Amino acid sequence: MAASKHVRSLIGGHFEFQGELGSIARLDADELPILNRLSIKRLLLAEGAIREPHWHANATELSYCVAGQALVSVLGNGSAFSSFLVGPGQMFHVPSCVVHHIETIGPGTAEFIIAFRHERPEDFSIRAAFGAMTDAVLGNTYDLPGAAFAAIPRRTESAFIVARQGPATVPAAAAFNSPHQFDIEAQNPLLASPAGTARFAREQFWPALRDISMYSLRITDKGMREPHWHPQTAEMGYVLHGQARMTVLDPDGSTETYALQPGDVYFIPRAYPHHIEQLGNDEVHFLIFFDQPTPGDIGYRATASAFSRSVLAATLGVTEAVLPPLPFTPSDPLVVGRVNPRDA
């Protein structure tokens, strides 16, 4: 897996932070150079832990809660504030430069898969921001004597994850809906068949999204994600559950087929043809992120219907008599049924 151009393991990747309070595993362009306009992190927060208030200078954040219960608070431009609860299968979105925090409020560890709209996201934290200013400057800011801040250590690096002192403070307003929050797994799948299901977090359903989106895609042993490409967006996928296989065509004519397992991340640049098929007996569940609010697809099935049989036969180097009876498909199905045994 280490030699792969398109795939890396996030679980076994570089850790920004690792300790008793949790961990942050990072996969950006330093670890996977093909990444462009997207990167990913896996956040684990132990019970009573807080992902300190922070913001990303150059990247929108789009998070999916895998496990646990958490409180998220967001403060944006114009003092617009929102605080809300997230649980498994729910998502939240934070625009670039907007300060936010995450803290566990229930028992057990909370887990998040977090995509960023930049291949090398830059972070600032409240601890570092306080550490950069003098006691006098902070005192003037809060109408207090500078001595009131003398006991606070001056540190200009992030703490990443800190321990909460006492129980969580959950405001009553956190139970209300927030424009930053989206319950993707509660949505009716727009695609549903024995071959698989797809639920969409995109601008059409979540207006807060401006430059990023996500599909929650499940493929059963009866289906396959048809070969396709995206004309306007790259694709970054995380394997949440199951085993899968992917084939990618590069512009130089080379192809590579990868085996994927839980914790793996793959990246497909814009317009690169690729396919996904499930392996084993369990369905495979992907979290697939795009660098556009409404990703587009061009699939092999509709492509074959866009040209005459004579054009296709000449292109593929066969006679029309040899060309298979390709079905007319005016709209790509996204996931197709498996009518043949898996390739070895």
SS3 assignment, position 106: coil
Average pLDDT over residues 70-75: 97
> Do 47 and 61 lie in a common domain?
yes
Identify whether residues 178 and 192 lie together within a single domain.
no
Which one of 162, 182, 202 terminates a domain? 182
Phi/psi at 257 (nearest 5 deg)? Answer: -115, 125
| 192-201 tens-digit pLDDT | 999 999 999 9
- DSSP code, position 258: E
For residue 300, the enclosing domain spans 185-335
Note whether 273 and 306 are same-domain residues: yes
- Please determine, for residue 4, whether its predicted confidence score (pLDDT) is greater than 90: no
Number of domains in the chain: 2
Show which of 182, 210, 228 is a domain's final residue.
182
Greatest mean pLDDT range, 12-16, 215-219, 276-280: 215-219
Question: Do 13 and 48 fall within a single domain?
Answer: yes
Q: Is residue 262 part of a domain?
A: yes
Query: Both 83 and 102 in a single domain?
Result: yes
Asked if 142 and 235 sit in the same domain, the reply is: no
220 — pLDDT class (breaks 50, 70, 90): very high
Domain final position from 161, 182, 203: 182
What predicted TM-score, i.e. pTM, was given to this entire model? 0.95
Q: Are residues 257 and 174 in the same domain?
A: no
Alpha carbon of 240 to those of 120, 216, 220, 237: distances in Å? Answer: 23, 10, 14, 9
Q: List the single range of 10-19, 225-234, 236-245, 288-297 with lowest mean pLDDT.
A: 10-19
277 and 216 in one domain? yes
Question: Residue 207: its pLDDT value, please?
Answer: 96
pLDDT digits (tens, 9 = 90+) for 308-323: 999 999 999 999 999 9
33 plus 172 within the same structural domain: yes
Residue 212 token pair: 């990023």
The answer to whether residues 170 and 209 belong to one domain is: no
Confidence of residue 2 (pLDDT cuts 50, 70, 90): very low
First to last CA, the chain: 19
- Is 241 a member of any domain? yes
pLDDT score at 127: 96
The Cα–Cα gap between 88 and 65 comes to: 5
